[in-house]
Amino acid sequence: MRRGELDRRGRASDGFEPIVPVGEGIVARRLRMRREDVQRLGIVLSGYDGLASLHGGTDDVVYVVTTVSQSRTLDEVLENSRRTIPFERAERGS
C-alpha cells in the first residue's frame, strides 16, 4: 500500500485516522481531479442538500461519500457534472 492509500478499514497507510467515513451503508466514489476543480464540484454537490460529502484525499484524489440509498442519484449528478468539471474515476491503487 502506498502512502496515503486507505486500507479496508478506511485508515490511511501512514497511520492517521480515516480520511473518509466508512461503514455499513456508506458508499465512497474516488475521483481524480485538479485541485482547482474540487471547489466547483463542492458547489454542485451543495445544491443537493444532504446528497453527499466531499473529502480531500491525497494529491489529486478526492472522495465523494454518500449512503447506499443515494448512490444512484450521486452517480447521475457526477455524470452530469463531468460535462463541465473534468475528472475521472480513480480505482484503488491508481
43: Cα separation from own chain's centroid: 14
pLDDT, tens digit, 9 for 90 and up, residues 7-37: 555 555 544 444 566 678 898 899 999 988 9
Q: Which of 1-5, 42-46, 54-58, 84-88 has the lowest mean pLDDT?
A: 1-5
Average pLDDT, the chain: 80
80: Cα separation from own chain's centroid: 16
All domains in the chain, ordered by first residue: 26-89 (3.30.70)
**Mean of the pLDDT values across residues 36-62?**
89
Q: Of 83, 80, 78, which is closest to residue 62 (Cα–Cα)?
A: 78
pLDDT, tens digit, 9 for 90 and up, residues 74-86: 999 999 999 999 9
